[in-house]
Structure 1
Amino acid sequence: MAHSDTQTVRQTAPVLSVENLTTSFLVDGAWKPVVRDISFSVAPGETVAIVGESGSGKSVTSLSVMRLLQKDMSRTEGRVILGDRNILELPESEMRKVRGNDVAMIFQEPMTSLNPLFTIGDQISEALLCHRPMTKAEGRAETIRLLDKVRIPSAASRFDEYPHRLSGGMRQRVMIAMALASRPKLLIADEPTTALDVTIQGQILDLIKVLQEEEGTSVLFITHDMGVVAEIADRTVVMYRGDAVETGRTEDIFLRPKHAYTRALLSAVPMLGSMRGEAQPLRFPKIDNATGLPDAPREGANTVATDQKPILEVKNLVKRFDVHAGLLGKLQGRVHAIENVSFSLKQGETLSLVGESGCGKSTTGRAIMRLIEPQSGSVMLDGKDVLAMDRKALREMRRTMQMIFQDPFASLNPRMTVGAAIAEPYLEHKLGSQKQAREKVVDLLERVGLQPDMASRYPHEFSGGQRQRVCIARALALDPKVIVADESVSALDVSIKVQVINLLLELQASLGLAYLFISHDMAVVERVSHRVAVMYLGEIVEIGPRAQVFENPQHPYTKKLMAAVPIADPTRRHRRRNVASDELKSPLRAPDYVPEIRRYHQVAQDHFVQV
């Protein structure tokens, strides 16, 4: 439905009306409410976004509407009117007819929603045959039409493919096709783009807008990303700790937010282009958790001396993974994960490696640390050749260069207190006594904004943001000069992300740390970087000062990445980014493949682009 018809849309009866919804879970024998007295409606053809951070109750709200919560452990009160029926009062047999027919749902992780044992064609046609009277041949034809509709290339040939053969973006398209199979009046999308790369996210958002215009479907969109909300939602419900703290037109909420928490969420959104004219990385405004209000002006970060010698120099780094197949394990090909990668990093500088999943940026970080062994190239750290080191020298090297991983929970031993986890590398390297280690732990916990008495707690007793702070403290235990941060903030909520980024910038300013910051989040990269290297299929296609790369991108892939970033500006809501729906090409090559020699053109000082 065209957006010009919005006023007409809102005057008709709502497709979904949620009235005083309260959902409670059974905890230690008592009912604990996690969603309290929520009310909102969705009109025909309208998109309503429920936005909030982890634990706000937004996903529980959508699962309550669909009646997908475990019956013996949950209790849902209030009214959920779909059409003219309160679906909370329907028997389960009737509710099964509603799900997938009148209301369909797309979940965050498509791989866990698709059955790996069945082809995607069989799974979509099963949804059709359950709800509509048709033969198998008609089901196949309709499935191919749906696959074509969600812009899956070569739809007919993809019918018999299994989910593992498709990329994350293509799997999410399959889930959308399955959800649309019975032409539902309402589509509930629960974080459908969170796990996707920025260009794939752009494609999915464009796709949902186009399908909505073609089919007139209403959408209830659940997300924590304010940029996505601005681009897709007509109205927005802001949730905080189980309550709806603000509801209204998206433009009003972005331009005139009334609640302190909404203002805090908006102030924490990294805006692409906000660094124009700024020479150095900037910290975000800090957020007072009690009031939700941003504090005093932003401070600048560390300035890097131009004549300084690099602390880390990487030259012509190559890493390929052999792919074997068949009974005899014959070599079928090689994945060219890193191909001829070169860059340098100075003390106190942040170089960001950006690109989509599969571009080789995390492999680069691991190869530099020698967590995987590269085929060739050189890695010089403080004048020493990392790739020529024996085990003893490598152990010493890791005092100088440490790594922070994406998932802090997987990085910490659940049976070890965080104090013991932070002290472990200090004691292993014999840098001091047990008493000195305890003093070091207290100092590091305070440095990363945690209380010293938290040292006796276990990882499960901390939030995601606090666990990432523990991982940063652990990385700092050996007083390193270089830190490789591999997607270290991508799994965090927006306000926690801001806190961790500010912490990293403050530590850089006070300790002179050099960061290799690996990320796919272009807005965060713009905020924290001195220089940026863009990776595509294992190669650096553009590298240069942050201002040059962001304000004057030269390579087509860099431009594509920039164009796909959601902007937290509701006036752009009805624009199409027109991000091409092609998939990232495979880095798998034949065993005898010889890569061509790449040439680079200098655009400006220190700004190079592959030609």
Structure 2
Amino acid sequence: MTDDSTRVQPVLSVENLTTSFKTQEGWKTVIRDINLHVDAGETVAIVGESGSGKSVTALSTMRLLPPGRSRTEGRILLNGTDLVKVSEAEMRKVRGGSIGMIFQEPMTSLNPVYTIGNQIAEALVLHRGLSWKAAEAETLRLMERVRIPAAKTRLHEYPHKFSGGMRQRVMIAMALACRPKLLIADEPTTALDVTIQAEILHLLRDLQQEENMGVLFITHDMGVVAEIADRTVVMFRGDMVETGKTNEIFAAPKAVYTKSLLASIPRLGTMGDTQAPKRFPEVDSATGEAIDGREMNTVAASVPPILKVDDLAVRFDLPHGRVHAVEHVSFDLRPGETLSLVGESGCGKSTTGRAIIRLLTPSAGRIEIAGEDITKAGMRELRAMRRKAQMIFQDPFASLNPRITVGSAIAEPILAHGLMGRRDAKDRVAELLQKVGLAPDMASRHPNEFSGGQRQRISIARALALDPKLIVADEAVSALDVSVKAQVSNLMLDLQEKHGLAYLFISHDMAVVERMSHRVAVMFLGEIVEIGPRASIFDNPQHPYTRRLISAVPIPDPERRGQTPPPLTEEIKSPVKSFDYVPPKRTYREVSPGHFVQNDA
């Protein structure tokens, strides 16, 4: 990177960007006087709280905000051309051509009625002029490059058959298809586990060097910022509060908000000898200094489990074979305990969680909640079970009805189970919104009026509405920026301590898992390969995949950049097997009390 005196014209230059939205009260300004530039071959990160204006800055740059309801002022120069002034027809050529964009929520960005291969190939036909046959061959190469297993057989599948992480990899392939000069990446690794995240970051870095591509990287993961960003822009409530070289901002932040943002980062390996979960650091709002959180309660081994899973299997039949999504999964979970399920995207974590809540029908095995077998339960039994067990879903936008207000969404289970009248339910909704850090008057808004992180908090509030004893939290804090992630994680820990909640915590964020967990189960290709107390798993990992998972966690320190493991070269095994395939029965050895590792590595 060169200094300002010798710097050539940047790929992107944003000057005094101000964006407003039309409301019932008039025009409301959401970002003010944003100034930044991205040079060829340079990565600039935008960080800040959920709702700070990061994504609005990106959408303004791409001219993707709704016309008539939004107003953009200032200049957005792409290689010297002001995108604010060009026609919509010219912008269509820019989008996907000169500028590629990876969106935050892949399921809402992919068209559900077209195959994955068709959607990637379309960009190649439109922007690179390839024939459909050549575009399909290039699509297959792109899918293999972002490490989608069995890419050739999955080329003609639809988005709903892909996991959240797999869909994000499709979005990355689509954004890179036309070799753009500028890539805008809006939370591109949010849905990815740490090993795939490390590989995607390696991939983006390699492509950036090959194409001399500028990258505007929007994220709440400060470890990722430390790993890849040359410069960092910090945003807070629509304003730029600090900008500079990444290593200088991490070493000596000037703004109080930047200090608090860095202080909130959960760092791997900071638990010491603590056996139980530990609250995230509390940040002094005046100084930005962090005070480490207290240790939470341990769980008595004599307490009977709220959840028992025995030899669970979930399989899906396809025309050409059978997907063995989950095989031979067994564990139990006690009141007041958190068991974290970690592993690669597509390894079966979410499928396990959905099967436990009976949103999927198990193919084999037994599931007991509060001593009752729900494996073959009917509608009446399942309705009663959902008073005891609730789920927080991975994609908050897809799990909220866009046609009803969030207040109605939170009140819906309360009213459906006849727990309260409408007036009391309204008060309960206001209380739940406050618990997750949102204002009670937000109950009258619709889901599209919230940021991704705010929608996740609404999903948590809805899951708490029935006072359940078991919560399956599927990436419950993955969409939250670091400061809100700490607040919501502390809220979950406090609720657990107060009400004896049991959490099956499905996550790819290993630093959060280390703070939140009593025990950890590591999944790989649908099987648990290692399970044990949190300290045993993190301090003495035995399975090769567990060791790789921990080593892939990005370190929030720019001075230690480049220490993530190199990307894997072998293809990920496919979970699709022939119809006559019989999964082998696994055996485990006990490394230490309660710490088991699969013998078949």
TM-score, scaled to structure 1: 0.81
Q: Tell me the CA shift for residue 543 of structure 1.
A: 0.3
Query: What is the aligned partner in structure 1 of residue 174 from structure 2?
Result: 175
Query: What is the aligned partner in structure 2 of residue 468 from structure 1?
Result: 459
- Pair 1:40-2:27 in alignment: no
Q: Tell me the CA shift for residue 244 of structure 1.
A: 0.7
Query: What is the aligned partner in structure 1 of residue 554 from structure 2?
Result: 566
Q: Tell me the CA shift for residue 311 of structure 1.
A: 3.8
Cα contact 1:418–1:456 (8 A) shared by 2 = no
- 1:252 is paired with a residue of what secondary structure? helix
CA distance 1:243–1:518, shift in 2 (3 Å): same
Residue by residue over 1:64-87, the C-alpha shift from the partner in whole angstroms, topping out at 9 and shown as x without a partner, is 334444454443332334445545
Query: What is the aligned partner in structure 2 of residue 123 from structure 1?
Result: 123
Q: Tell me the CA shift for residue 532 of structure 1.
A: 0.4
1:194 corresponds to which of 187, 190, 194: 190
CA distance 1:163–1:285, shift in 2 (3 Å): same
Match runs of 1:372-387 below 5 Å = 372-387=360-375
Matches of 1:219 and 1:293, distance apart in 2: 29
Query: What is the aligned partner in structure 1 of residue 296 from structure 2?
Result: 301
Q: Who wins on radius of gyration, i.e. which is larger?
A: 1
CA distance 1:104–1:587, shift in 2 (3 Å): closer
Cα contact 2:168–2:191 (8 A) shared by 1 = no
1:354 corresponds to which of 333, 342, 356: 342
Higher mean Cα deviation, 69-78 or 30-39? Answer: 69-78
Residue by residue over 1:405-453, the C-alpha shift from the partner in whole angstroms, topping out at 9 and shown as x without a partner, is 445663679367478446436635xxxx869977994997499367997
Superposition RMSD in Å: 4.2
Query: What is the aligned partner in structure 2 of residue 328 from structure 1?
Result: none
- Unpaired segments of 5 or more residues in structure 1? 1-5, 130-134, 326-331
CA distance 1:157–1:535, shift in 2 (3 Å): closer
Query: What is the aligned partner in structure 2 of residue 61 from structure 1?
Result: 57
Cα contact 1:537–1:587 (8 A) shared by 2 = yes
Cα contact 2:100–2:176 (8 A) shared by 1 = no
Q: Tell me the CA shift for residue 559 of structure 1.
A: 2.5
Higher mean Cα deviation, 413-422 or 75-84? Answer: 413-422
Matches of 2:146 and 2:369, distance apart in 1: 47
Query: What is the aligned partner in structure 1 of residue 219 from structure 2?
Result: 223
Higher mean Cα deviation, 517-526 or 442-451? Answer: 442-451
Match runs of 1:277-296 below 5 Å = 277-287=273-283, 293=288, 296=291
- Pair 1:316-2:341 in alignment: no
Q: Tell me the CA shift for residue 524 of structure 1.
A: 1.5
Query: What is the aligned partner in structure 1 of residue 15 from structure 2?
Result: 19
Cα contact 1:119–1:161 (8 A) shared by 2 = no
Match runs of 1:122-161 below 5 Å = 123-129=123-129, 143=138, 147=142, 150=145
Query: What is the aligned partner in structure 2 of residue 414 from structure 1?
Result: 404
Higher mean Cα deviation, 510-519 or 88-97? Answer: 88-97
Residue by residue over 1:564-596, the C-alpha shift from the partner in whole angstroms, topping out at 9 and shown as x without a partner, is 333222123345531326565332332222111
Higher mean Cα deviation, 263-272 or 378-387? Answer: 378-387
Residue by residue over 1:237-287, the C-alpha shift from the partner in whole angstroms, topping out at 9 and shown as x without a partner, is 111222111101111212222222222322332222232432221111345
Q: Tell me the CA shift for residue 47 of structure 1.
A: 1.3
CA distance 1:425–1:526, shift in 2 (3 Å): farther
CA distance 1:266–1:179, shift in 2 (3 Å): farther
Matches of 2:291 and 2:394, distance apart in 1: 30
Residue by residue over 1:29-80, the C-alpha shift from the partner in whole angstroms, topping out at 9 and shown as x without a partner, is 8443222111122233221111223332223323333444445444333233
- 1:342 is paired with a residue of what secondary structure? strand
- 2:326 is paired with a residue of what secondary structure? strand
Matches of 1:298 and 1:55, distance apart in 2: 25
Match runs of 1:255-270 below 5 Å = 255-270=251-266
CA distance 1:350–1:10, shift in 2 (3 Å): farther
- 1:239 is paired with a residue of what secondary structure? strand
Cα contact 1:269–1:494 (8 A) shared by 2 = yes
Query: What is the aligned partner in structure 1 of residue 510 from structure 2?
Result: 522
CA distance 1:522–1:100, shift in 2 (3 Å): same
Matches of 1:157 and 1:383, distance apart in 2: 44
CA distance 1:110–1:470, shift in 2 (3 Å): closer
Matches of 2:240 and 2:415, distance apart in 1: 44
- 2:266 is paired with a residue of what secondary structure? coil
TM-score, scaled to structure 2: 0.82
Please tell me the residue identity of whatever aligns with 1:321: F
1:589 corresponds to which of 577, 582, 585: 577
Q: Tell me the CA shift for residue 190 of structure 1.
A: 2.9
Matches of 1:249 and 1:411, distance apart in 2: 39
Query: What is the aligned partner in structure 2 of residue 448 from structure 1?
Result: 435
Matches of 2:439 and 2:154, distance apart in 1: 57
Q: Tell me the CA shift for residue 488 of structure 1.
A: 2.5
CA distance 1:273–1:367, shift in 2 (3 Å): same
Query: What is the aligned partner in structure 2 of residue 132 from structure 1?
Result: none
- Unpaired segments of 5 or more residues in structure 2? none
Please tell me the residue identity of whatever aligns with 2:201: L
Cα contact 1:188–1:221 (8 A) shared by 2 = yes
Q: Tell me the CA shift for residue 210 of structure 1.
A: 1.6
Residue by residue over 1:98-127, the C-alpha shift from the partner in whole angstroms, topping out at 9 and shown as x without a partner, is 556654444445673686483744632542
2:565 corresponds to which of 548, 569, 577: 577
CA distance 1:97–1:531, shift in 2 (3 Å): closer
- 2:118 is paired with a residue of what secondary structure? coil
Give the share of equivalent positions with the same residue, in percent.
Answer: 50
Matches of 2:206 and 2:145, distance apart in 1: 9
Cα contact 1:315–1:342 (8 A) shared by 2 = yes
- 1:475 is paired with a residue of what secondary structure? coil
Matches of 2:79 and 2:168, distance apart in 1: 32
Matches of 1:156 and 1:593, distance apart in 2: 21
Matches of 1:200 and 1:474, distance apart in 2: 34
Query: What is the aligned partner in structure 1 of residue 542 from structure 2?
Result: 554
Cα contact 1:333–1:589 (8 A) shared by 2 = yes
- 1:427 is paired with a residue of what secondary structure? coil
Matches of 1:452 and 1:147, distance apart in 2: 44
Query: What is the aligned partner in structure 2 of residue 427 from structure 1?
Result: 418
Cα contact 2:146–2:200 (8 A) shared by 1 = no
Higher mean Cα deviation, 170-179 or 599-608? Answer: 170-179
CA distance 1:596–1:549, shift in 2 (3 Å): same
CA distance 1:97–1:503, shift in 2 (3 Å): closer
Cα contact 2:432–2:465 (8 A) shared by 1 = no
Q: Tell me the CA shift for residue 458 of structure 1.
A: 6.9
Cα contact 2:190–2:479 (8 A) shared by 1 = no
Q: Tell me the CA shift for residue 220 of structure 1.
A: 1.9
Matches of 2:379 and 2:86, distance apart in 1: 66
